[in-house]
Amino acid sequence: MVTMSQALMVGELPVIAAANGFFLFTLSITYILNIITNVIQKRQTALSINALGRDPRQIIAATNDDGKFATLVSQLQPLQQSISTLGQQHLAYPILHYYHSESSSKALSLAIARLYQAISLVYFASPKLDTTTREQLSIFQRALEQFLDTLGGTFIQPNHNIPHIPELNGYAELPGFDKSSTEMHDYLASLPYQKILVAYVQKDGWDWKNVWQTEQE
């Protein structure tokens, strides 16, 4: 004989199942919306960096200020928080790493690699930087390296070798620079984070040469 309490429990099962289903559905929708939001932020960050220039030389030339680079520093400040946030989002939502843009202007890997070259060259080759600007560049470079550490520790295996650095023809003639093309080339080739950058670019479906060459889309 079925007791009243047992009958009530049986009657409640469909309600509990429906509630669990609704909870899982809501959780799934929330997760998907977060992924979409983070993908949009990833693309926006790439576009913001590419607005400065489509290769390292363009970034340096557009923000030069006769070697003082105040414009560059002012543009980097809002980007720093975005890049730090993206690093944490990659840990929280690993699926983000498998999103790849078909447009080079929206590819975060290329944008990060180009900006890293530009920042490194400005820091190395421009003697007119005041103390504050130099410190801001150093802070931003560390933020980029922390982002790369996040990828290198979880998603990407750094290459064994430093990638090919081009001859940097024309870079020595940029206003405010006092290093030769050879000196700048050797400096970039000495940076260990280049191994993670080239792995990131290739993992994202691009060639290392795309970092240095402006392409029409």
pLDDT number for residue 103: 86
pLDDT number for residue 217: 46
Query: What average pLDDT does this structure show over 103-124?
Result: 94
pLDDT more than 70, % of the chain: 73
Average per-residue pLDDT in the chain?
82
Query: What average pLDDT does this structure show over 20-36?
Result: 58
Q: Where are the domains of the chain?
A: 4-212
pLDDT number for residue 45: 86
pLDDT number for residue 67: 86
Tell me the pLDDT band of 192, cut-offs 50, 70 and 90.
very high
| pLDDT above 90 for 101 | no
| pLDDT above 60 for 9 | no
Is-contact 126 177, C-beta < 8 A?
yes
Query: What average pLDDT does this structure show over 118-134?
Result: 93
| pLDDT above 70 for 72 | yes
* Separation of alpha carbons 125 and 183, rounded Å: 9
Q: Label each residue of 166-179 as H, E or C.
A: CCCCCHHHCCCCCC
Query: What average pLDDT does this structure show over 89-115?
Result: 78
The pLDDT tens digits of the residues spanning 155-172 come to 788 999 999 999 998 899
Tell me the pLDDT band of 105, cut-offs 50, 70 and 90.
confident
Tell me the pLDDT band of 177, cut-offs 50, 70 and 90.
very high
Best CA proximity match to 122, nearest among 71, 196, 161:
71
Is-contact 93 38, C-beta < 8 A?
yes
